[in-house]
Structure 1
Amino acid sequence: MQVLGRYVRSGQSVLDYACGIGFLSAHLLRSFHVDVWATDEGEHAIELTQRRNGGQLRFRTATTVDTLLAQGTRFDRVVAVELVEHLDDDQLELFFDRVSRLLVPSGLLVVTTPNGEQLDRKMILCPNCNQTFHRWQHVRSVSSSTLAQLAAEHGFRLHESRETSFARRGPLGYLLRRHPCLVPARAMHRPHLVGVLARSGSGVRTRCRPHRPRRFAP
């Protein structure tokens, strides 16, 4: 995820929110000179993340959100990868409330999510209960405009947004990364969205217009 290099700076404190088994924490430690904390709801995920990254000098700890809040720990950046599309309204409200208390006044929340996903195309039928559900348990479709709206409803504002693809690998991916002009912008498939959010009233200057995503090289 080289795109994170636009928002993460050397010496900052970064929280890997919903860390899973710690791959993002490992990437942050490997790619940036930052101090990394990790948190997750699952004890097993916390244990695996700690095991994967515990030997790294700048990895501080993997623990629960409640522990971080009780300690008064604050971060320059909170990164939540592929999370918001899984959260219902109540969970999303809790997420933004927690992040608001975890960020320093000038801090930023960086999220990634499927970009304008058509949920109905990925629904499957359970043969046992005869109910349909999303293949990966996504409960909402997020675009730049809907992310801006969600942020505004929870005390944040969209600072910047970018459409991208995390799957541009191999020879074709190399050519597209080095020479994006080979393919017209409208023809480029950009299935992911990176959103950078600041707390309302934080003084962080907004850098984007959510309804007109800018062209960029993936």
Structure 2
Amino acid sequence: MKKMQPKHVFLNFINEYVKDFYKSYDFEFSESQLAFKRKLSNGFVQTIKFSGNLRNTEGFIIKYGDQYLVYCSTYKSWWTKNFPQIPLIGSGYLNTNNESLIKMNHAIRNGTEYDFLKSPKEEIMNELKSNFIDFGLTFFTDNENWEKLSEKAGSKLTEIDALILSSQFERANNYIIETMTEYLGYYGNESKMNASARQSFEILKSRKEYLKKWL
């Protein structure tokens, strides 16, 4: 008898153990994307996404890892409309404050993945649920709007955009000037910046120009 493909094995576990659990917190499951999503009224989409190991093989390797993400389509639209000359970073996914995720319990997790052939599925699913309650909900609360991201995000550039999108224009401008000064103090001038620094510096300049109409 032919064994089920790893994805189908994993989907059975999702449906049996955690689908209703996440649904009780208003997360809807997308089978095609292997993700639970909760949409907020401000355009933010909170996501718990599962991805399989590239070596997953029928009957031999069934490994899946979970990621906590926040997506915002209006951010993507704002960026592409106002800064079309600058490639969008993150495709609409935000550089979040991940302090709570660092604290998650990974007692039976191997690196970034759970091995469904080495650990009982019940233990894996219980760890997923307890991590969500103890740390995941805090993560989503920490990253649920631009005001919170303006105070702490995963990068200075995200904090600056969050300041702008929460209409804190003067603070954003001051932060831009401060950050640009730090770049120039470190590199001397733009010509000496590496590709990554030059990209960030171009974003800073574009935001400074954008703010002229608000200050």
TM-score strictly above 0.5: no
Higher helix share: 2
- TM-score with structure 2 setting the length: 0.25
Which structure has the larger Rg?
2
- TM-score with structure 1 setting the length: 0.25
Higher strand share: 1
